Structure 1
Amino acid sequence: MKESKPLPNYLKVQSEPCANKEAIIQGDYYRFTVLTPELIRMEYNEHGCFEDRATQTVLNRDFSVPDFRVIDHGNKLELITDRLHLTYDKKPFTRHGLSIRVRNESGHLMSVWNYGDTPQDLRGTARTLDNADGAVPIEHGLLSRFGYTLVNDTASLLLEEDGRVEPRTQEGSDLYFFGYAHDYLNCLKDFYHLCGRTPLLPRYALGNWWSRYYQYSEEEYKMLMERFEKEHIPFSVAVIDMDWHLVDIDPQYGSGWTGYSWNRDLFPDPQRFLAWLHEKGLRVTLNVHPADGVRAFEEPYLAIAAEMGMDPEKGDAVEFDITDPKFLQAYFKFLHHPLEEEGVDFWWIDWQQGGITKIPGLDPLWMLNHYHYLDSGRRGNRRLSFSRYAGLGSHRYPVGFSGDTIVTWESLDFQPYFTANASNVGYGWWSHDIGGHMMGYLDDELAMRWVQFGIFSPILRLHSSASPFNSKEPWRFNKIAEDVMKDCLRLRHRLLPYLYTMNRLASREALPLVQPMYYHNSEQHEAYEVPNQYYFGTELIACPITQPVNPKTGVAEFKAWLPEGLWIDFFNGRVYDGGRKLSLYRNMEAIPVLAKAGAIVPMADLTEYTSSVDNPTHMEIRVFAGENGHFHLWEDEGDTAEDRDDQWCDTEMTLEWGETSIFKISPARGNTKVVPERRSWKLSFVGFADTKVKVFAEDLEIAVETEYDETTHTLTVITSDLAVSESLNVTFSNARISVNKMEAEVFALLDRAQMLFQLKEQIYRMVKEMANPTITLASLVSMDLEPSLYGALCEILTARV
């Protein structure tokens, strides 16, 4: 980058790029750094010059020194850890001179890598889904069934201590070998240490976002927000697409895609408008396309032109050059900071102009992401940006904008896999255009299924194009879709306590919110065969439905695989035995979301509706039967600049399952100032058979309301307000797992099916008289039923085998 005045401290990234000298094995032209028993840095430079500065990808090499041995044979070097055995001939890296043998946790040889081999990995993510109508090519990731992957950091630019980005001046090789076998989560943990951890998102980012590419006026936008409030549809982020600024400009200036001046015809008093949104509890982001620089019609033109040493009288455009430190600082000072002072909370960086800058190899998207994210912390709030993926290391700059998809079933069907797979490069916070962005077709069921997926995706942001026929307000769809979409948006806000705890785990413990099934079942082949199924936090598995319902049976299929153990449906309470493949069928109203036995899911109780994302006064805790459970609910102010231990409040919850089952909420510990002094508790015990309970606050039994729902197998216990400093214990007189109501479930399925009444009666009679599910299914298969109907019957009759 060009010489300029120093960058401010908030535009400098913290790093620890120097490795411990005890971990380094170095010769005249080679250097190996043993970072972990599974991770080795390998460098070769014919001048013997090696790099100890941070790079665009790698920030920290300050690992604890692992145990390893070095055997020097004179003309050959062996480097041995518990998991890797490197052999090197001390010459320029070649296929015949550099190899690594990988062992798994049991010590068995898993694979051998030779220099030049292209690892076969499980892939990662992609820069964008712009114009995607279904699947798109996916870039390489960090995890492999073969046990190793390679990250080539040779072309990565350098991050100087003063915040500048500089190209490397020395040629050579700079490689990182990841030999973690199938220990996928440990690989991710060390990757985050190497490249920087995923930051903590502000709490409001986990609520619902409203977005549309549409020329709203101030009054139209206010009316829409008030309609949402009236309909009890909560939103926490207001996105205003590019029409906030002038777009119809004199052709002499080019196109109107780039702009920094409010359209006063639409927003006559921007500060008033933004203050109104804040009063409604909304945070605001504006869309920017910065490629065309700053032209003479812009309000900040005179100031930035003078700052850049240009003659404003000439009217020449201030060129967008993110590689120029002088422009970089002026870009923020004159274009963004004044708008932030008016009330803009963060920026939507909509860069679509390719990856070329004046510095070879420097992607302008990466630069925009890097500096916008750092700059967003200038005012003392938690950092946040919103932009496309720019390669390995982009997890440091959440949230990701996945781009403008085509509105089709094929687009929806790709997104669950795409979202979960992004965790393979540590990229855990994708935000999709829920409902799809453009073109395609209107399909109420498709829109509804997309929002159902959105609940169980990292960020739920409704979005659509400017077409007058394409918008995502729930009331624009049929009654079934409208009601389901409203319920989904409410459920997303109810899940905020769970989501925010997962947010902390993602940042502190390297556990992405969305994880492929093979993360915890790496030796199970079936775990690799369900790409659209994933873990959603520590307690749940999501199975989004991405195909239309069968018009005859009214249900849609999801081909799932359940790990060993008991699993309980989050919505209907049906109990399943795991350790098998099975098809799950659901009607329009729900998708399969399964909780592990013993799961504890804290939620906000919105019985008294609020759109606030603050730590709730009224809590609902869903507790799932069958095993011991343990959960820490983590809460803080939600938007602090730093993540310190002393800012957090911890509420521990446990389920002791057995002959005398007890559910306990321990007194809140830590920074209790961030939570209400008193809370009411709605305790939903799912998969429990009906039984009597006693509830104690501290050691005193208290009166509670109880209710049992046979349909969802849920025992509900409601308390009055209790001090968060008190413990709460629920003891069960005879806790048992509920028995699936097969007859009732079969009746409900048949009742909605579009088929002959006589056939319904025959099937139902067989089920009622059933002595053995296997015999009944054998009889049903001979009746040549609609496959969707037979499959749904199989699911009900064999949920517990």
Structure 2
Amino acid sequence: MEVKGNVILQDAVRFTILTTCLVRIEYSKDGKFEDRNTQMVQNRHFAQPPFEIFENRQGHVLEIRTTGFHLYYDGGVLSSGSLYIDAANSYGTHYSRWYYGEPTKNNLKGTARTLDRADGAIPLPDGLMSKDGFSVLDDSQSFILENGEFSVRQSKETDLYYFSYGRDYRKTLQVYYQLTGFPPMVPRYALGNWWSRFYPYTQSEYLALMKEFDRCQIPIAVSVFDMNWHTTAIPSKYGSGWTGYTWNKEYFPNPEKMFDLLHQQGRKVTLNIHPASGIRPSESCYGAVAKMLDLDAKTEEPATFDLQNKKFKTAYFDLVHHPLEEQGVDFWWIDWQQGGARGQSKVDPLWLLNVAHFRDSEKRHAGEGLILSRYAGPGSHRYPVGFSGDTVASWDSLRFQPYFTATASNIGYTWWSHDIGGHMRGTYDGELSLRWLQLGVFSPILRLHSSNNIFMGKEPWNYGKDIESAMIHLLQLRTRLVPYLDSENYRTHTEGLPLVQPMYYGYPNQKVAYEVPNEYQFGSEMVVSPITTPVDLKSELSSTEVWLPEGQWYDFFTGLVYEGDSYFKAYREQNKFPVFVKAGSILPMLKNYMQPLAQIPEQLELMIFVGTDGIYEMVEHQENNIARTIFKWNDREHQLTVETVDPAKLIPVQRQYSVILIGAEGSIDKQSATTISFRNYQLIDQSKIVTELIKSRLQRAQISFEEKQLIWQMYVSHKETKKLIKFLDTIHENTIRGMIIELVEK
């Protein structure tokens, strides 16, 4: 046995103790091990942890013990008979033991490469998190990845990472990011609304659409052009028209002018590409590419797609993509659908594309890169954002997406972008589209999308007036939330805390936290439980199961207070959504939702959810410059203090704050640059909110007037909740009973 620092070499096996709860396990028949970075792993330089080594004890060749695990190795080839590890925690049935080669149990799953054509749930591979408190990641098949370049491993080996952080899921994820690289910050504008549609727009039609969005006060931050921007009708001898880089001048006669106008409106622009077919003679750039690559232009020799070929890679960027970027393209939507690599020396093209395009974007944008592409496996979180694929427009698809989005954090993939509203098939259903948009507002990225069907457009005015109004409000709300989203964006980058987290991240030892798979934490201040089922015809409300942890929680949309440590069914009107904010929270919001998101705003609105003291650090950024504003709410003194740390001078000198108190009323007594205090302060009577909600719900309920009147009389006459509930138990309509019990039992 040989020991050097935290590395233990025993015959053909090498153990590297990275932390007290993380060990790397390698087996190489020829004794050659890999020390370079891989696709997944980008850092193994950890501070050496304490550990103990035992040799030839009780029949074991080697034992390694830390405070987090006890490893037993009996020599020879790695197998379930020669290697096992006991986690120090004990979440298993009797003990938390892993035998080499066996799958971990009770895994909480990770994410998938695509949801293309999915109509509901799909199987998910394992992730990092397990209720048993340990997990294993296999890096054996990874290529070497250093400085953006891929190469083949020097020797075939088994290369595993064993994690044993128990149910401290946040710590598990943070250490995983330390090992694989923390997610970069996404640009501020990416947190706004994206307009995307697979549709053959003309230049004038597209600009007219953006003008109509502005007229309707619908903020669109990112303009997405699907594949119809380029020529698709090419000679059949060249193959499919899906790959293309030449503007369709019939549709877009002056793309530079169009980009200039979109940029003047404060929007960013991305184009969809399907690179699989390379550069063919049908492209306007073919001549330059053929010359650089020494192709036989006379015989129309194509430039075959191969990003592992350095000359092709240079031509691909310098002669094909960079000229389009000079016209105004801000980033690329990489729509790779052609599968993985073929052969042991061939890297998955999706990995090649994601790494190359993201690094190229970083160079062009002062270190702040962005792509829209597909998930390529563990480590892909370094190249945001993810395009989840062409889903079917159905309630089953919607029902799966909250769980799918939250669970992706279990493998560190935090920036999913879904086709909000669904991409394909389905039927006209305004309710479904509205509920999907509500989910989109409280998702990592909000990108409206639909297929090439004139009836599938997600423009709000395609629906009835009530739904149109609700959709416009939601798109405005998403943009208003950007200061909060950008602050959480920074925390993901620096602390490894995803914007969307399963409930068990914050409450890992509470059984109920695992029983609400569609509910999630949305940043540090919010809990969201999406509605994913159609309206009940009797109550004209939709419902979902909600669990609120201990504490006092406000309904974001109504201001109604709920006591935590409770599990209940939440009923909501069409224009409401179950979003809860804990007392003491301070949410920074944009005042002017139509201003370009790349700008740091002069006016902010602060929502303060009263009831206890609170503190929130807002982070604003432009490229690599950061400004911090710390808000502190003193609930007893009814006073807000503001402290800024702004070395780059990002914050406008004349910044103004307006404050909305949630749960209380009051008028501003004194206001300065650092303090806002209130007078005539009083808590809002929650019973009035309840009464108004019960009255409005009964008004819309599809039951007889006599039944409504009887329920109402019982409510106003019975001040004791138990008596009222006893009466409601006599009602046969469960939804009518449930919608009232939610309010009186909250």
TM range (shorter): over 0.9
Which residue type is aligned with residue 283 of structure 2?
E
Alignment correspondent of 1:694: 669
Cα deviations across residues 226-280 of structure 1 (Å, max 9, x unaligned)? 0001110001100000011000111111111000111111111121111111111
1:102 aligned onto 2:87: yes
Alignment match, 1:45: 28
Q: What code does the residue aligned with 1:744 have? A: E
In structure 2, what is the Cα distance between the partners aligned to 1:224 and 1:65? Answer: 58
Cα distance in 2 for partners of 1:771, 1:251 equals 78
Tell me: CA distance 1:692–1:292, structure 2 relative to 1, closer, same or farther (3 Å): closer
2:138 partner amino acid: N
Q: Which residue of 2 aligns with 1:451?
A: 437
Q: Which residue of 2 aligns with 1:666?
A: 642
**Partners of 1:326 and 1:692 in 2: how far apart?**
67
SS in 2 for 1:176: strand
Structure 2 counterparts to residues 718-729 of structure 1, below 5 A: 726-729=673-676
Q: TM-score, normalised by structure 2?
A: 0.96
**Residues 90 and 132 in structure 2, CA contact (< 8 A), matched pair in contact too:** no
The separation in 1 between residues aligned to 2:220 and 2:196, in whole angstroms, is 10
- How far apart, in 1, do the equivalents of 2:95 and 2:526 lie? 31
In structure 1, distance between residues paired with 2:73 and 2:543: 53
1:245 aligns with 230
Unaligned runs of 5+ in 1: 1-19, 698-725
Please give the root-mean-square deviation of Cα atoms over the aligned residues, in Å.
1.8
State the distance in 2 between where 1:740 and 1:392 align.
Answer: 50
Gaps in structure 2 of 5+ consecutive residues: none
CA contact (8 A) 1:83 1:107 kept: no
Q: C-alpha separation between the residues in 2 aligned to 1:257 and 1:596? A: 48
Paired residues for 1:468-547 under 5 Å? 468-547=454-533
Alpha-carbon distance change, 97 to 251 in structure 1, aligned in 2, over 3 angstroms = same
Corresponding position of 1:6: none
Q: In the alignment, which of 690, 706, 710 is matched to residue 758 of structure 1?
A: 706
In structure 2, the residue matched to 1:678 is: 654
Deviation string, structure 1 residues 109-130 (Cα, Å, up to 9, x no partner): 8511111220121001110110
Question: Percent identity between the aligned chains?
Answer: 44
Q: Which amino acid aligns with 1:466?
A: N
One-letter amino acid of the counterpart of residue 644, structure 2: A
Counterparts of 2:376 and 2:559 in 1: how far apart (Å)?
42
* 2:687 counterpart SS class: coil
Matches within 5 A, 1:59-78: 59-73=42-56, 76-78=61-63
Alpha-carbon distance between aligned partners in 1 of 2:378 and 2:597, rounded to the nearest angstrom: 35
Indicate yes or no: 2:69 matched with 1:93: no
> Structure 1 CA distance, aligned partners of 2:16 and 2:595?
54
Structure 2 distance, partners of 1:222, 1:783, is 55
Aligned-residue offset at 1:611: 5.0
Residue 526 of structure 1 and its aligned partner are, at CA, apart by 0.6
Instruction: State how far apart, in whole Å, the 1-side matches of 2:273 and 2:177 are.
Output: 29
The alignment partner of 2:643 has SS state of coil
Check the 8 A contact 1:83/1:179 in 2, yes or no.
yes
Compute the displacement of 1:737 (Å).
Answer: 6.7
Counterparts of 2:675 and 2:217 in 1: how far apart (Å)?
Answer: 31
In structure 2, the partner of 1:26 is: 9
| C-alpha contact (below 8 Å) 1:496/1:613 kept by paired residues | no
Q: Is contact 1:236–1:613 with CA below 8 Å preserved after alignment? A: no
Q: Which residue of 2 is the match for residue 180 of structure 1?
A: 165
Corresponding residue of 1:335:
320
Aligned residue number for residue 412 of structure 1: 398
Deviation at residue 694 of structure 1 after TM alignment: 2.7
* Contact 2:402–2:519 (8 Å) recurs in 1: yes
Q: Is the aligned partner of 1:36 residue 2:12?
A: no
Aligned twin of 1:219: 204
Contact preservation (8 Å) 1:373, 1:383: yes
Q: Could you tell me how far 1:149 is from its partner in structure 2? A: 0.7
Counterpart-to-counterpart distance in 1, 2:356 and 2:648? 35
CA distance in 1 between counterparts of 2:234 and 2:245 reads 12
Higher mean alpha-carbon deviation, 56-65 vs 620-629, is at 620-629
| 3-state secondary structure, aligned to 2:108 | coil
Determine the structure 2 residue equivalent to 1:551. 537
CA contact (8 A) 2:219 2:594 kept: no
The answer to whether residue 699 in structure 2 is matched with residue 746 in structure 1 is no
Distance 2:50 2:24 in 1: 15
Pick closer, same or farther for the CA change 1:106–1:758 going to 2, 3 Å: closer
Provide the C-alpha distance between the structure 1 equivalents of 2:138 and 2:597, rounded to a whole number of angstroms: 45
The answer as to whether partners of 2:295 and 2:302 remain within 8 angstroms in 1 is no
- Cα-to-partner distance string for 1:760-788 (whole Å, 9 max, x where unaligned): 0000000001131122111111132x211
Match in the other structure for 2:627:
649
| Cα contact 2:500–2:521 (8 A) shared by 1 | yes
Inter-partner Cα distance in structure 2 for 1:498 and 1:441: 35
Contact 1:83 1:105 survives alignment (8 Å): no
1:773 paired with 2:713, answer: no
User: Could you give the per-residue CA deviations for residues 726-768 of structure 1, whole angstroms, max 9, x where no partner exists?
Assistant: 2023246665474333322211110111210010000000000
What displacement does 1:356 show?
2.4
Relative distance call for 1:110 and 1:731 in structure 2 (3 A) is: farther
Q: 1:326 deviation in Å?
A: 1.9
Question: Quick one: distance in 2 between partners of 1:102 and 1:216?
Answer: 58
1:81 lines up with 2:60 in the alignment = no
Q: Distance in 2 between matches of 1:287 and 1:628?
A: 47
Determine helix, strand or coil for the equivalent of 2:616: strand
8 Å contact from structure 2 (residues 116, 390) kept in 1: yes
User: Secondary structure at the residue paired with 1:544?
Assistant: coil
1:426 aligns with 412
CA contact (8 A) 1:241 1:286 kept: yes
Q: How far apart are 1:27 and its partner, in Å? A: 2.4
Report whether the alignment pairs 1:143 with 2:129.
Answer: yes
Amino acid in the other structure paired with 1:116: G
Deviations 1:410-432 (A, max 9, x none): 11111111111111111010000
Question: Which residue in the other structure is 1:562 paired with?
Answer: 548
SS at match of 2:141: coil
The aligned counterpart of 2:607 is: 622
- Residues 692-737 of structure 1 deviation map (CA, whole Å, 9 limit, x = unaligned): 653342xxxxxxxxxxxxxxxxxxxxxxxxxxxx202324666547
Q: Which amino acid aligns with 1:363?
A: D
Deviating more after overlay: 440-449 vs 739-748 = 739-748
What is the TM-score when the length of structure 1 is the normalising length? 0.90
From 716, 741, 745, the counterpart of 1:794: 741
Over 3 Å counting, the alpha-carbon distance change for 1:783 and 1:159 in structure 2 is closer
The Cα offsets for residues 25-73 of structure 1, whole Å up to 9 and x where unpaired, read as 1223111111111110011112211110000110100111111111222
C-alpha contact 1:653 1:663 (8 A) present in aligned 2: no
Counterpart CA distance in 2 for 1:21 and 1:748 is 72
Deviations 1:207-229 (A, max 9, x none): 00000001111101110000001
- Residue equivalent to 1:460: 446
The residue that corresponds to 1:389 in the other structure is: 375
Taking a change above 3 Å as real, the CA distance of residues 747 and 339 of structure 1, as seen in their structure-2 partners, is: same
Query: 1:552-631, aligned counterparts within 5 Å?
Result: 552-606=538-592, 609-631=594-616
Shift of 1:684: 1.1
**Matched residue of 2:351: which SS?**
helix
Partner secondary structure for residue 327 of structure 1 = helix
What SS is found at the alignment partner of 1:636?
strand
505-514 or 348-357, which deviates more: 348-357
SS of the residue 1:490 aligns to = helix
Q: Displacement, 1:583?
A: 0.5
Q: Which moved more, 1:322-331 or 1:763-772?
A: 322-331
Matching residue within 142, 156, 162 for 1:171 = 156
Give the SS at the match of 1:76: strand
- Compute the displacement of 1:107 (Å): 14
Aligned residues: 739
| Residue of structure 2 in register with 1:126 after alignment | 112
Deviation of the 1:475 alpha carbon: 0.5
Counterpart Cα distance in 2 of 1:561 and 1:737: 24
3-state SS of paired residue (2:493): helix
Contact kept? 1:43, 1:172, Cα under 8 Å: yes
Deviation, 1:322, is: 2.3
Please state how far the C-alpha of 1:191 moved relative to its aligned partner: 0.4
For residue 446 of structure 1, give the secondary structure of its aligned residue in structure 2: helix
